Structure 1
Amino acid sequence: MSLLRSIAGVIALARPINSATTVQTRRHFKRWVSPTLRELAHRVKKQGVQKPEPRSGFVEWNYRSELFAFGKRLNEDFQLPLLQTAFTQRTYAHQEQERQRKLGIAEADLQMGDNSQLATKGVHIAKAYIEAYLQNALPKVPPVGQQAIASYLLSTETLAHVCTHLGAKELIFSTEYPPSSETLAQTLHAIIGALSDSSGVERAFLFVRDFICTQLNQKDLLEIWTPEQPLQLLGEICTQKKLGEPEPRLLGDCGKNTVLAAYHVGIYANRQLLGKGFGEDLQMATETAAIDALQTLFEMHDDRQPFDFRLQLEAKNVRLD
């Protein structure tokens, strides 16, 4: 780590201050800079790739202060013991207990909680609120679509992304560093559970809305959920809404019998155009048109109204299993 800092310091000294003095700085380049950089690069290559080191190994690290600052950054009031438990993985707790046993510490002092129970509670809270939020934000999307979007928000990748950008990575007690995506996702669930026990389930709902539901902002919903067999689903929706039987019609084509063939298909119901689509053959163009029609009926197009992230759902409207 100190070697990398030395390289960064040398590069900073050699970097020109601004564009106006670039030429002059290069002309008066110190002759010791080049051999120094070569020597430092040689040492880094000789030592190999250095593993990332956690910030907890720094001399000025104060874990209690970091926990307190974490809650204040999020504008939340956590009970510090609960928050510390939320950051403690089970493998780390077992390892710490084993280390204390080897040191001869009494059994009464070996109690160290982990975040498994808090994570389980956080899973239920996050799942219940996200499903309720999607029912209010996307009322015309069928349950299968809402479930697909909820699965995206609750996926390990999305939760790990949120947890990392909340600054939680350095606070996690784990046997691995950097923590894996699964560890980050479980920690975020545990944080939600700790917030519910500290400030109530309403604050936990707002936390889920502000940091997880907002991942849908400016997101193309078609990338998250693409209906399977769109023409069949369109027929079912048209029957439910009494729009009539959907009928695909060829609007135009070009380049027939070539590798650059293109077909333009529109889908009508009761002489009303529901959607249009292009494709290299009639089947693909028809499916594209059906998807376009479904996006219109479900209000999933890019020009739809933005999500309302100020929406507040009361606890009685959220079903906690």
Structure 2
Amino acid sequence: MSLFRSATGVLCLTRSINVAGGVQPRRHIKRWVSPTLRELAHRVQKQGPQKPEPRSGFIEWNYRSELFAFGKRLNEEFQLPLLQTAFMQSTYAHQEQERQRKLGIAEADLQRGDNSELIAKGAHIAKAYVEAYLRYALPKVPEIGHREITTYLLSNESLAHVSLHLGTKDLILSTEYPPSEETLAKTLQAIIGALADSNGVERAFLFVRDFICTQLNQKDLLEIWTPEQPMQLLSDVCKQRNLGEPEPRLLADCGKNTVLAAYNVGIYADRKLLGKGFGENVQQATETAAIDALQALFDMHDSRRPFDFRVQLEAQHVRLG
């Protein structure tokens, strides 16, 4: 039971009942709590957002345990010294050497390896396997298309996306935090190199397939690679496959001489319709139709058979040389 003053200035009696049926006094927030919280919020707003801090600064951080757990999460068996080297950026290694020199540590103890060699090895393995996988999965696509898709899969943006979601952000030994997109990408390449040295190149191939090639899943290949001169490329492909010379034909149009004009163009070769497209003018509709025809000839349509990410390409099919 407790007293409080109402809006009219009359003292009122209140009581609160607990589950057991007894009467307990109602607890009130102390008068100093609200101004204190407002002051703390004001100080935080004045100082700006808190800078991100690495997990290594936490008391319970155990780097060796984190490296071991990283390999187990990926279901891979790494040699811990190699895995640690994969996360060691050259800038961090140089910084540690300078710090130890200032502390007077012997020169023989300053040898800290960075991940430069592992990055080069991992990048070579990833590029070789991605190219082999694309030759298997997209056999009708020309070499120029394979190069564009390979560039997309091995770009810093794509590799950094994979690296970040594998949990490398807090394991990277670098002078910057959070690590940049380039650092994340190079670390993933170094991990591939460390895996090849730990378990063989075949295991590294499977890693590339499972984590890099799978970025093509449910992707529109036309967004990754769009031919710059579709009619010229279509003409070359038709000549190679003996399909005849492609010929664009106007199928329909509406709204001529207006801002809402639309044209429907079809491309034929040897009296067979290869593709059709729409556009605001005949030239744009022709290019759209040529791209549609190329998608059909290269088997790049959205309705194509999904990528097979269970295939295991043998080493002789991957050009490592």
TM-score calculated relative to the size of structure 2: 0.89
Question: For 1:162-195, what per-residue CA distance to the aligned partner results, in whole angstroms no more than 9, with x for missing partners?
Answer: 0000000100000000000111111001000000
Query: Which residue of structure 1 aligns with residue 151 of structure 2?
Result: 151
Query: Which residue of structure 2 aligns with residue 73 of structure 1?
Result: 73
Q: How does 1:45-56 map to 2 (within 5 A)?
A: 45-56=45-56
Query: Which residue of structure 2 aligns with residue 216 of structure 1?
Result: 216
Query: Which residue of structure 2 aligns with residue 275 of structure 1?
Result: 275
Q: Within 2, Cα distance between the matches of 1:76 and 1:211?
A: 13
SS of the residue corresponding to residue 253 of structure 1 reads strand
Q: How does 1:97-136 map to 2 (within 5 A)?
A: 97-136=97-136
SS of the residue corresponding to residue 252 of structure 1 reads strand
SS of the residue corresponding to residue 252 of structure 2 reads strand
Q: Within 1, Cα distance between the matches of 2:34 and 2:278?
A: 58
Q: Within 1, Cα distance between the matches of 2:92 and 2:105?
A: 17
Q: Within 2, Cα distance between the matches of 1:122 and 1:43?
A: 47
SS of the residue corresponding to residue 275 of structure 2 reads strand
Q: Please state how far the C-alpha of 1:229 moved relative to its aligned partner.
A: 0.7
Query: Which residue of structure 1 aligns with residue 313 of structure 2?
Result: 313
Query: Which residue of structure 1 aligns with residue 61 of structure 2?
Result: 61
Question: For 1:192-229, what per-residue CA distance to the aligned partner results, in whole angstroms no more than 9, with x for missing partners?
Answer: 00000000000000000000000000000000000111
Q: Please state how far the C-alpha of 1:120 moved relative to its aligned partner.
A: 0.4
Q: Please state how far the C-alpha of 1:39 moved relative to its aligned partner.
A: 2.8
Q: Which amino acid aligns with 2:220?
A: D
SS of the residue corresponding to residue 171 of structure 1 reads coil
Q: CA RMSD in A?
A: 1.5
Question: For 1:12-67, what per-residue CA distance to the aligned partner results, in whole angstroms no more than 9, with x for missing partners?
Answer: xxxxxxxxxxxxxxxx9969776555333211112222210000000000000000
Q: Which amino acid aligns with 2:300?
A: M
Q: Within 1, Cα distance between the matches of 2:113 and 2:83?
A: 11
Q: Within 1, Cα distance between the matches of 2:108 and 2:246?
A: 72
Q: Which amino acid aligns with 2:206?
A: L
Q: Within 1, Cα distance between the matches of 2:28 and 2:303?
A: 55
SS of the residue corresponding to residue 266 of structure 2 reads strand
Q: Within 1, Cα distance between the matches of 2:218 and 2:149?
A: 14
Q: Within 2, Cα distance between the matches of 1:34 and 1:70?
A: 44
Query: Which residue of structure 2 aligns with residue 88 of structure 1?
Result: 88
> Which structure's residues are more often helix, by fraction?
1
Q: Within 2, Cα distance between the matches of 1:203 and 1:63?
A: 25
Q: Within 1, Cα distance between the matches of 2:47 and 2:299?
A: 57
Question: For 1:136-177, what per-residue CA distance to the aligned partner results, in whole angstroms no more than 9, with x for missing partners?
Answer: 000000000011000000000000000000000100000000
Aligned-pair identity in percent equals 80
Query: Which runs of no fewer than 5 residues in structure 2 stay unpaired?
Result: 1-26
Q: How does 1:1-321 map to 2 (within 5 A)?
A: 35=35, 37-321=37-321
TM-score calculated relative to the size of structure 1: 0.89
Q: Which amino acid aligns with 2:154?
A: L
Q: Within 2, Cα distance between the matches of 1:242 and 1:311?
A: 32
Q: Please state how far the C-alpha of 1:108 moved relative to its aligned partner.
A: 1.0
Query: Which residue of structure 2 aligns with residue 11 of structure 1?
Result: none
Q: Within 2, Cα distance between the matches of 1:54 and 1:177?
A: 7
Q: Within 2, Cα distance between the matches of 1:295 and 1:35?
A: 66
Query: Which runs of no fewer than 5 residues in structure 1 stay unpaired?
Result: 1-27
